[in-house]
Amino acid sequence: MATTRLKIITTTTALRTQACRRIPTALHSCSARQLTSSANSTVSTSGPLYNTPKSQAKEPFAVFRDVPQLRELRRTMFKEGRQVGLVPTMGALHAGHLSLVKHALEENTDVFISIFVNPTQFAAHEDLDSYPKTWEQDLNMLKELQDEHARSSSPNKDSKIVGIFAPTVNVMYPTLPPSSDIAGDGSFVTITPLGKVLEGASRPIFFRGVATICTKLFNIVQADRVYFGQKDVQQSVLIKRMVKDFHIPTEVRVIPTSREPDGLAMSSRNVYLGERRRQQVAVLSRALFAARDVYKSGQLVGGPIRSAATEVFREAACAEGDDGRIGGPARLEIDYIALSDPDTMNMIPNRDKIDPRRGAVLSAAMLVRPVDKPQTADELEQTTVRLIDNVILEPLEVEKS
């Protein structure tokens, strides 16, 4: 078996373990810095925006709504030999995103942040319309990070966030409306079989949307390096494969997962949880950490490693809370607990052993249902939240060359 699926019923809680550069011909004599200083007056702000405000007030960074102005800046950067990093985001930034930006600032002279809620990676029943939108807060966080970086002792402290690419949907999908239908029309990038397992099995259009939008972003920005978080490990593996298969001239950098003090992986969707559900969900990271400890102790067989994670969920389901309830206020459903090859995400069967020279990826996805007995107006409006997490089981032996 490649994944672990189970269902545990308690009094109130159930667990079910179930990414040819085309440089325009015109060259400009002005510098990249001069271009960014005037970008706010030249960018387009027309068209429907999923993730940008209606206000036209001056922003702390150049904001690009369309492709031509950004490419004008990139022409100058190419001419000047500057090193460019790209951090793709959907907005609703948190400390995890800022960690990616910090790494980009340390490794490049110039950094672009993209903010675009991509409709083609959301199924019809998912949270496209309700996805958090915090534009002004996002820009303030980036400005604070930029100022902090400039004051630091980093040898690369002169590097800067030179622009925010926040395009309209019409810019990113110029010929046809974006389709969330698996059989829908449009120009899409698919990576198989990697895009059909684990997250791809639970969210069939997700990786098609991710691969498509990343291909577009990479082509538009043409960054030397792009930055992703380990939390979305399957996405990172898929993007690396796409870059290799399509000979895209960019380096994919994967940065360790940023976590809350209790271990929960940072995610923009955590804001959906509310106070009581938030207290429950750290069980996801605890389960993965417990399984990692079993691996570190020398266990290489897949089954016992996954069982260690499952046991943590069982214990949480049977624990009595301060209010006397068994389990917790919300039902948790485990979509999968999977042990996978670190390069291909091919799943390792229960009876097989992990190659100690290669290690593995232990990943899981959990559905957090609304609380059983809502106590507030916010709890009455709760919807199911899907959380993912993973840990890297590092090699235990040095691979011989």
Which residues are catalytic, by number?
97
Cβ neighbours, 10 Å, residue 321: 14
Q: Is 91 left (phi over 0), alpha (psi -120 to 50) or beta?
A: left
> Residue for token digits 């027309």?
46
CA-based nearest residue to 281, from 181, 159, 210, 364: 364
Cα angle, residue 203 at apex, residues 200 and 206 outer, rounded to 5°: 75
> Residue for token digits 């046809």?
176
Residues contacting residue 152 through CB under 8 Å, at least 6 positions apart: none
C-alpha dihedral sign at 322, 326, 330, 335: positive
Q: What is the DSSP string of 252-264?
A: EEEEPPPB-TTSP
Residue 258 is which amino acid? S
Per-residue tokens: 166: 């926040």
> Residue for token digits 């373990």?
17
* CA pair distance 131, 128, nearest whole angstrom: 5
